[in-house]
């Protein structure tokens, strides 16, 4: 078994950070669908702005809203306005084709990478 890259949303901008929320990352449902992320799925979040990294799980955000919300304790590490990468992996014996996308400054899909 190997851990392979499954999904990546590249260069999204955090639109909200809520320390009082009970954990997770909220992601626009359109972006989730583009890369095959499911609600509750574990993701690695890499902050391009400050270098922080953390693992959390996905909560579905309003479709077409561009929302990227950092919730709970993670909001101490990643702030509103930070540029991040959201990455998911799959444990498999197979060679898989990952889905990676690039977004614009409003977190709208630009193209597959």
Active site positions, annotated: 24, 57
**Nearby residues of 49 by Cβ (< 8 Å), 6 or more positions away:** 79, 81, 82, 83, 84
Helix (H) or strand (E) holding 32: helix 29-35
Alpha-carbon span 28 to 38, nearest angstrom: 11
**Among residues 11, 94, 16, which one has the least CA distance to residue 61?**
16
């Amino acid at each position: 078994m190997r851990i392979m890259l499954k999904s990546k949303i590249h260069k999204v901008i955090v639109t909200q950070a809520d320390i009082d929320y009970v954990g997770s990352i909220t992601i626009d449902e359109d972006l989730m669908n583009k890369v095959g992320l499911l609600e509750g799925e574990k993701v690695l979040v890499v902050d391009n702005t400050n270098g922080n990294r953390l693992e959390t799980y996905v909560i579905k955000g309003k479709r077409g809203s561009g929302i990227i919300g950092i919730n709970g304790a993670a909001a101490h590490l990643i702030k509103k306005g930070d540029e991040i990468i959201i990455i998911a992996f799959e444990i498999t014996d197979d060679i898989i084709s990952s889905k990676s996308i690039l977004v614009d400054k409003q977190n709208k899909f630009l193209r597959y990478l």
